[in-house]
Amino acid sequence: MQPPELSLAGKLDNGLTKGLCLLLRGLRTGSLWLLGLLALAGLPWIIFEYGEGLADLSLLEWSFMLLLALLLWRHIRYCQHFATGIWRGLNRLLMCQGVMVVLGLVTVGLLIYVMAETRDLQELPRYLLQDDPISKFLSFGSVLLAVYLAAPTAATESFRATEAMPARVEPSVSAMAKEASL
C-alpha cells in the first residue's frame, strides 16, 4: 500500500528539510575533516617545539613517532586488504582525528567550567600553557587512538554489492523439453 501523495506545500517542505539536512551533514563532515587535518598538520610544531631538530625530541616523542608510523602502515594495509581506497581511507583517518579534537575541546571546556565555578579563572591560562608530560601523553595518545580506530574493519558496501551480485544465468532447455514443444 502506497502512502498518499503530498500536496505542493508538503513537497516543498519535504524538499527544504532534505536540503537542510544535506547541508548540515556536509558542514559536519567538512568541519570534522578540517579539524582532523589541522590536528595532523600541527603535529610537527608540537613535536619539534624548541626548533632544535632531532636533539629536541624526548623519549615520549620518539616512541610516539614510531607508533604513529606503525599505525599508519597498519591503516594503509587494512585499506588495501578491504579495498577501501586511498581517499576513503584518508577520509576515515581525518574524521577520527576530528572527533578526537572535538572531544579534547569538550574536555577543555569542562575544565574551564570547573575552574570558573571554583573562582580559579586566573589560574587557567597558567595551567593551560604549562608543559607537563601528562597533557603531552594524553594529546599523543588521542592521536594514536584515532589512527588506530580509523582503520577499516570490513569491505565497503559498493565492493560487497558488486561481488554479491550473481552473473545473469540463462535458463537451459533440455533436449526432452525441445521435443515436447514440437
d(CA 98, CA 28): 10
Which ranges of the chain would DSSP assign to H, the alpha helix?
A: 8-41, 43-47, 59-81, 86-117, 124-129, 133-150, 157-164, 175-181
pLDDT value, residue 115: 79
Q: Quick one: which of 122, 145, 144, 169 has its CA closest to 63?
A: 144
What are the structural domain ranges in the chain? 29-47+59-153
pLDDT value, residue 175: 65
pLDDT tens, per residue, the chain with 182 residues: 688 888 888 889 999 999 999 999 999 999 999 999 999 998 888 888 777 777 778 888 899 999 999 999 999 999 999 998 888 999 999 999 999 999 999 998 888 888 778 766 777 777 767 767 788 888 899 999 999 999 998 886 654 555 555 556 555 666 666 666 65
pLDDT value, residue 56: 76
pLDDT value, residue 132: 72
Cell numbers found for residue 17: 528539510
Q: Is the dihedral of CA 119, 123, 127, 129 positive or negative?
A: positive
Cβ 145 vs Cβ 75: under 8 Å: no
CB neighbours (10 Å) of residue 146? 24
Helix (H, G, I), strand (E, B) or coil at 137: helix
Q: Quick one: which of 104, 119, 123 has its CA closest to 35?
A: 104
Q: Is the dihedral of CA 17, 22, 27, 29 positive or negative?
A: positive
**With the CA atoms of 111, 113, 115 and 117 taken in that order, what torsion angle do they form, in degrees rounded to the nearest 10?**
-150
